[in-house]
Amino acid sequence: MSEAPMNEAPRSGAVRLIRNHRLTQAVDYAYAAAVDVPVRSLWLAGACPLDTEGRTVAVGDYAGQAHQVMRNLVTVLEGEGAALTDLVRTTVYVASSRQSDLVAVWDVYREYLGAHDVPSTLLGVSVLGYDDQLVEVEAVAVLNRAEAG
């Protein structure tokens, strides 16, 4: 068992974000997240840049689609009595091979997450499921059983 010193981010609900000082601190995400039981887990499908009519918004605009994706993610979480600070893990998909496009999406994503630097993976992929879709975010959230509805 390692004796690596750990630095924890401020607690939010059931989620405790963890940083490891033996790894670089030049990243804007936690390396791990811990959750104490009993909890309620939410496994969210990928949030897509769709409006209420099912149309892809901000065609050709990575940042614009990222904003819609994050708004849709917040809507799903709020519907279950949760918030972005209850996220324990995310995966951000960007339909591009250009790092600048990934960074544009990541910057929007980080705006919404603020200090909650949840463990996340950012991926460039060749294609996503909807016409003109450039961005998608999958997430897992955990709520304290006492706070869960």
Stretch 49-73: mean pLDDT: 97
Asked if residue 146 has pLDDT above 80, the reply is: no
The answer to whether 73 and 86 have CB atoms below 8 angstroms apart is no
Which range has the top average pLDDT, 20-29, 30-39, 82-91, 140-149?
A: 82-91
pTM of the model: 0.83
Residues in CB range of 103: below 8 A, 6 or more apart: none
Query: 96-105 — which CB contacts under 8 Å span 24+ positions?
Result: 96/62, 96/124, 96/134, 97/124, 97/126, 98/124, 99/124, 101/62, 101/134, 104/62, 104/63, 104/66, 105/62, 105/63, 105/65, 105/66, 105/134, 105/135
- What distance in Å separates the CA atoms of residue 130 and residue 124, rounded to the nearest whole number? 16
Mean per-residue pLDDT over the chain, rounded: 88
